[in-house]
Amino acid sequence: MASTAGQVIKCKAAVAWEAGKPLVIEEVEVAPPQAMEVRLKILYTSLCHTDVYFWEAKGQNPLFPRIFGHEAGGIVESVGEGVTDLAPGDHVLPVFTGECKDCAHCKSKESNMCTLLRINTDRGVMISDGKSRFSINGKPIYHFVGTSTFSEYTVVHVGCVAKINPEAPLDKVCVLSCGISTGLGATLNVAKPPKGSSVAVFGLGAVGLAAAEGARIAGASRIIGVDMNPNRFSAATEFGVTEFVNPKDHDKPVQEVLAEMTGGGVDRSVECTGNVDAMISAFECVHDGWGVAVLVGVPHKDAVFKTHPMNFLNERTLKGTFFGNYMPRSDLPNVVEKYMNKELELEKFITHEVPFAEINKAFDYMHRGEGLRCVIRMDA
Ligand code: CXF
Ligand code: ZN
């Protein structure tokens, strides 16, 4: 591998030339990593809704051509100047949000919202020099959230790379780069359900099911899945969900239904839909005195959260989280270990697998809401 260090690498990447149009596998040139950057060989990548949302570019500033992708596993190919804690051959997960270890957030230990490397969906270039490392015949191709993993090789800031156990199967742990860690951490790090407690999870997609998996790991005794789509219920039982509520089956607000089911409210709730009405229900369904609600889903930009202030005075707590409060470099290796010691199951999240050449199929699955995660195998 060392032979390519310092050189431009030619490899295949799935380029999004236009919003909503199928990706095209192209030969791209990937420049060597600059100071504090690493070049990664991506082995597996999976699709997350955020890729689809920005590929569709509805209502946002479109940045094309662009290489999407942010859930992935790979191996360090070469490192730029100043990189001391990663070396060629290391097994890694790239992450869309970073940990510089130097800003006020990283130093606080209470925050994972790094000032330098926090997600920026509008930026299509590397932060050090404002340039792209990808090009086709000299024409730059934009990056996406600093990861651009739909490419055999990519360049990432060292602060956005978690070094993990080399024994961990990258085709499984790649899903920990975004959605699964987000849901899992929302429950384990933020909601923190006590053993034997009740947890309501709103939205039974991959993130919600990861939140349910967190509740199962924490030893919650009742895990109530709330979703408008009854097709999601049977699969959810594998993630520890013990009961289901479809708000459409009731003529009163779902928070009242949940309060009746649980003698006054659930101990914890985790909202994973991004729908503001679901957020309000998720808050109002927690028990007074001790209930904690955690918001995970990304709301519409004009959404307004409205609730009576008495809900707070009656000792209900509302929290929000970003990437499950995990610090990417410090904490992700430990999440991988949870999988390695069989505490956390990842296989059940991976419902589809496709070779890189068929990456557009993965977009179709996501678009149709079919399955949870589609893992893309780069060498096929
Ligand atoms: C999300 C996190 C919140 C902002 C949009 C992207 N993460 C990844 O998919
Ligand atoms: Zn994501």
pLDDT for 124-133, tens place per residue? 999 999 999 9
User: Do the Cβ atoms of 263 and 244 come closer than 8 Å?
Assistant: no
Given the CA of residue 51, which atom of ligand 1 is nearest to it? 9
Q: Quick check: pTM over 0.75?
A: yes
Please report which confidence band the pLDDT of residue 162 belongs to, taking 50, 70 and 90 as the band edges. very high
Helix %, strand %, coil % of the chain (to 5): 30, 25, 45
Angle, in degrees to the nearest 10, between helices 254-261 and 276-284? 30
- Is 39 assigned a catalytic role? no
Please report which confidence band the pLDDT of residue 60 belongs to, taking 50, 70 and 90 as the band edges. confident
- Is 48 assigned a catalytic role? yes
Mean pLDDT, residues 315-344 taken together: 98
Instruction: Assess whether pLDDT exceeds 60 at residue 1.
Output: no
What pLDDT, on a 0 to 100 scale, did the predictor assign at position 200? Answer: 99
Mean pLDDT, residues 208-226 taken together: 98
Tell me what the pLDDT averaged over the chain comes to: 97
- Is 178 assigned a catalytic role? yes
Catalytic residue among 39, 287, 316, 373: 373
Q: What is the Cα–Cα distance from 54 to 68, expressed in whole angstroms?
A: 8
Q: What is the 145 CA–ligand 2 centroid distance (Å)?
A: 10
Mean pLDDT, residues 153-180 taken together: 98
What pLDDT, on a 0 to 100 scale, did the predictor assign at position 4? Answer: 95
Please report which confidence band the pLDDT of residue 62 belongs to, taking 50, 70 and 90 as the band edges. confident
Q: Omega into 355 within 30° of 0, i.e. cis?
A: no
Q: Pick from 231, 227, 256: which is nearest to 244 by CA?
A: 227
Q: What is the Cα–Cα distance from 90 to 87, expressed in whole angstroms?
A: 6
- Is 174 assigned a catalytic role? no
Instruction: Assess whether pLDDT exceeds 80 at residue 2.
Output: no
Q: What is the Cα–Cα distance from 270 to 253, expressed in whole angstroms?
A: 17
260-292: pLDDT as tens digits: 999 999 999 999 999 999 999 999 999 999 999
Q: What is the Cα–Cα distance from 195 to 115, expressed in whole angstroms?
A: 35
8-59: pLDDT as tens digits: 999 999 999 999 999 999 999 999 999 999 999 999 999 999 999 999 998 6
Partners of 223 in beta bridges: 199
Domains assigned to the chain: 9-29+58-163+174-179+325-377 (3.90.180.10), 182-324 (3.40.50.720)
Catalytic residue among 106, 160, 285, 374: 106
Please report which confidence band the pLDDT of residue 109 belongs to, taking 50, 70 and 90 as the band edges. confident
Instruction: Assess whether pLDDT exceeds 80 at residue 174.
Output: yes
Instruction: Assess whether pLDDT exceeds 60 at residue 311.
Output: yes
Q: What is the Cα–Cα distance from 271 to 293, expressed in whole angstroms?
A: 8
Among protein residues, the one whose CA lies closest to atom 9 of ligand 1: 50
Q: What is the 221 CA–ligand 2 centroid distance (Å)?
A: 29
CA distances from 144 to 10, 16, 119, 307 (A): 19, 11, 10, 36
| Cα atoms found within 13 Å of the Cα of residue 247, Cβ hemisphere only | 16
Q: What is the Cα–Cα distance from 212 to 95, expressed in whole angstroms?
A: 22
Q: Of 50, 178, 180, 325, which is best to mutate to test ligand 1, by the most ligand atoms within 8 angstroms of its C-beta?
A: 50
Please report which confidence band the pLDDT of residue 206 belongs to, taking 50, 70 and 90 as the band edges. very high
Q: Pick from 209, 210, 237, 200: which is nearest to 326 by CA?
A: 210
